[in-house]
C-alpha cells in the first residue's frame, strides 16, 4: 500500500534526496518538515488570505479580469479541475511573479508573465503574500536540487529549466460543504498538477486526497502535520523521468461545517522550457514515452481546459 511519507529536509543532501526520490516513485506526494519557511511567514499569509476572502464580492472583483491568464481572483464556479464535472466549490486568488513592462517575457507578450493586481485597501497584504511566495519559491528550487540528485544528476542540473519561471501562488478558500452538491462536485475536482513541483500549506482541516491506486479507486488523505508542507509533483516530472516519478491525481473535499484555507505554490518552470526525458531516465530498454513539450504550452492548455475555454 502506497503511503505519503513525512520527510525532514534537515539532513545531509544525499540522504534527503534519497528520501525525496523514494516518495516520488511511490505516492508522488510527501509531507516535508524542517523546510526552513518560518512559521510566522506562513501564519501571516494565511491571515491575509482569510482577510481577502472575507471582503464583499465587489471588492474581490477588483482583482478579477486581469488580462493575464491564470491570475487574479476566481469566484466560486469559475473552474472545474476535473474536466466535465460541475464547477469546484472554492474561490481563489492566483498571484504570479510581479513583472513590469520592461521584463523581456512581458515585452514579448509571453502568456502568464506580467504584473499582479493588488488590493489597494488591505495594507500589508502584498508584503505578506510576497514573503510567502518568495520563501516557497526558494524551497522549490531546493527541491529541484533534491530531484536532480535523486536521479543521479548534479544538484544544479534542473535549475536552468527555472531561470525565469511561471510561479504562481494560489490562495484558496473552500466553503463548507453545502447540503446539496451535484454528483462529482468537490472543492477541487480530481486532477493532476500541470507544472513541476507544487507546495501546499494546508490549515488543520484536512481534505486533500490522493488517488494512489487508479484501478482499485483507492484515495488516501494527505496527513495534516503541524508546521509541515505537502509537496507533490506535476505533469512535467513523469515526462522528465519517463514515469519513474509520478504526478498523481488528487482532489479536495469540502469540509463539513467549516471553511478550509490553503496556500498552493505552483512552481511551473520557464514558459519556453522544453521538457523531454532526462539522460539518466532512458536507455535502450526504456525508450522515451513522451514527445517533448514546452512547459508553458502544456500549462496553458490545461488551464484553458479547466475554465472551459478550450
Ligand X SMILES: O=C(O)CCC(=O)C(=O)O
If the CB atoms of residues 60 and 248 are measured against ligand X, the closer one turns out to be 248
Q: Does 91 bind ligand X (CB under 6 A)?
A: no
Among 48, 88, 137, 193, binds Fe ion (CB under 5 A): 193
Residue whose C-alpha cell is 499582479: 116
Sign of CA dihedral 142, 248, 209, 262: positive
Nearest CA to 116 out of 129, 131, 135, 132 is that of 129
Task: Give the interface segment with ligand X, choosing from 72-80, 139-147, 200-208, 296-304 (CB under 6 A).
Answer: 200-208
Q: Does 95 bind ligand X (CB under 6 A)?
A: no
Task: Give the interface segment with Fe ion, choosing from 86-94, 133-141, 166-174, 192-200 (CB under 5 A).
Answer: 192-200
Which positions from 202 through 231 interact with ligand X, judged by CB under 6 A? 202, 208
Q: What string marks each residue from 16 to 55 as x (binds ligand X by CB under 6 A) or -?
A: ----------------------------------------
If the CB atoms of residues 239 and 260 are measured against ligand X, the closer one turns out to be 260
**Count of residues of this chain found to bind ligand X when the rule CB under 6 A is applied:** 11
Q: Which option in ligand X, Fe ion, none does residue 27 bind, with CB closer than 5 to 8 A by kind?
A: none
Q: Does 262 bind ligand X (CB under 6 A)?
A: yes
- Phi and psi at 145, nearest 5°, equal -65, -45
Q: Does 252 bind ligand X (CB under 6 A)?
A: yes
If the CB atoms of residues 169 and 281 are measured against ligand X, the closer one turns out to be 169
**Can you give the binding site for ligand X, defined by CB under 6 A?**
170, 172, 188, 193, 200, 202, 208, 250, 252, 262, 264
Instruction: Using CB under 5 A, list all residues that contact Fe ion.
Output: 193
Amino acid at each position: 500500500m502506497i503511503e505519503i511519507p513525512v520527510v525532514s529536509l534537515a539532513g545531509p543532501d544525499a540522504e534527503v534526496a534519497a528520501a525525496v526520490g523514494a516518495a516520488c516513485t511511490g505516492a508522488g506526494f510527501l509531507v516535508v518538515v524542517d523546510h526552513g519557511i518560518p512559521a510566522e511567514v506562513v501564519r501571516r499569509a494565511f491571515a491575509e488570505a482569510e482577510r481577502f476572502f472575507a471582503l464583499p464580492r465587489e471588492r474581490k472583483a477588483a482583482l478579477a479580469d486581469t488580462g493575464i491568464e491564470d491570475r487574479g481572483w476566481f469566484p466560486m464556479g469559475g473552474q472545474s479541475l476535473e474536466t466535465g464535472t460541475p464547477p469546484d466549490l472554492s474561490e481563489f486568488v492566483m498571484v504570479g511573479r510581479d513583472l513590469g513592462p520592461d521584463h523581456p517575457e512581458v515585452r514579448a507578450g509571453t502568456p502568464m508573465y506580467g504584473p499582479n493586481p493588488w488590493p489597494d485597501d488591505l495594507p500589508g497584504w502584498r508584503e505578506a503574500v510576497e514573503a510567502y511566495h518568495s520563501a516557497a519559491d526558494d524551497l522549490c528550487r531546493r527541491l529541484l536540487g533534491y530531484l536532480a540528485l535523486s536521479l543521479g544528476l548534479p544538484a544544479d542540473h534542473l535549475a536552468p529549466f527555472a531561470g525565469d519561471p511561471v510561479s504562481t501562488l494560489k490562495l484558496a478558500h473552500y466553503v463548507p460543504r453545502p447540503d446539496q452538491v451535484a454528483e462529482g462536485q468537490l472543492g477541487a475536482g480530481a486532477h493532476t498538477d500541470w507544472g513541476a513541483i507544487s507546495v501546499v500549506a494546508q490549515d488543520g482541516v484536512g481534505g486533500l486526497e490522493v488517488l494512489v491506486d487508479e484501478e482499485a479507486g483507492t484515495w488516501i488523505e494527505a496527513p495534516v502535520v503541524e508546521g509541515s508542507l505537502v509537496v507533490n509533483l506535476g505533469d512535467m516530472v513523469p515526462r522528465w523521468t519517463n514515469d519513474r516519478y509520478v504526478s498523481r491525481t488528487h482532489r479536495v473535499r469540502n469540509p463539513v461545517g467549516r471553511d478550509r484555507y490553503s496556500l498552493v505554490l505552483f512552481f511551473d518552470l520557464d514558459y519556453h522550457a522544453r521538457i523531454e526525458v532526462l539522460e539518466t531516465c532512458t536507455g535502450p530498454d526504456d525508450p522515451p514515452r513522451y514527445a517533448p513539450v514546452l512547459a508553458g504550452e502544456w500549462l496553458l492548455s490545461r488551464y484553458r481546459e479547466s475554465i472551459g475555454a478550450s
